[in-house]
Amino acid sequence: MKITNFEFKAKVPDIRIPEDKLLTLHPKYIGEDYQIDTYFEVPHGRLKLREGNIETALIYYERKDKSGARQSDVLLYKHQQCKALKKILTKLHSIKVVVEKIRKIYFIDNVKFHFDDVKDLGLYIEVEAIDDTGNILIDELKEQCMKYFGFFGIDENDCIKYSYSDLLMEKSTLSKV
């Protein structure tokens, strides 16, 4: 499935504050998911295998590393839990890094909200305005995303421009120095 989204991710001191604010809008609660994202070495973009109780998928995406809201182009393959897939991917690609997190997931229409507690990194909020139909213009996705950027009062300085995988690898490199 080809997906385009516009998203932002920001570090927060307490995820309960933005989550409580979101609850005033009566979003659809999907649930709390313990996720393991295994990132693989690939020549371009990012490839990860997500293993969770709610979300299980093989995800390839390309996104510019820039702070604030940004576009991502995603290829998503949803599947049932399968140890063989991870074994195949590990044989073909070396593992880059493994990210573990507890994620609360909400939706309002096509906008997905994540409240993440990422092992060894901390607390984050992520908002994705998603088009999985090919019918929403990128400008509309950007507008939806920026609406929530303002709603949550996110400061540009709190946004992270890298994926959790990059942050963990950076942290690992720094701890070895």
All domains in the chain, ordered by first residue: 2-176 (2.40.320.10)
Query: DSSP 3-state assignment of 43?
Result: coil
Q: What is the pLDDT of residue 143?
A: 94
* Whether 78 contacts 1, CB under 8 Å: yes
Confidence label for 20 from pLDDT (cuts 50, 70 and 90)? very high
Instruction: Indicate yes or no: pTM above 0.75.
Output: yes
The C-alpha atoms of residue 65 and residue 161 are separated, in whole angstroms, by 5
**Residue 64 pLDDT grade (very low, low, confident, very high; cuts 50, 70, 90):** confident
Residues 6+ apart with CB under 8 A from 53: 31, 33, 34
63 or 109, higher pLDDT: 109
Joined tokens for residue 128: 């994705």
pLDDT of residue 174: 67
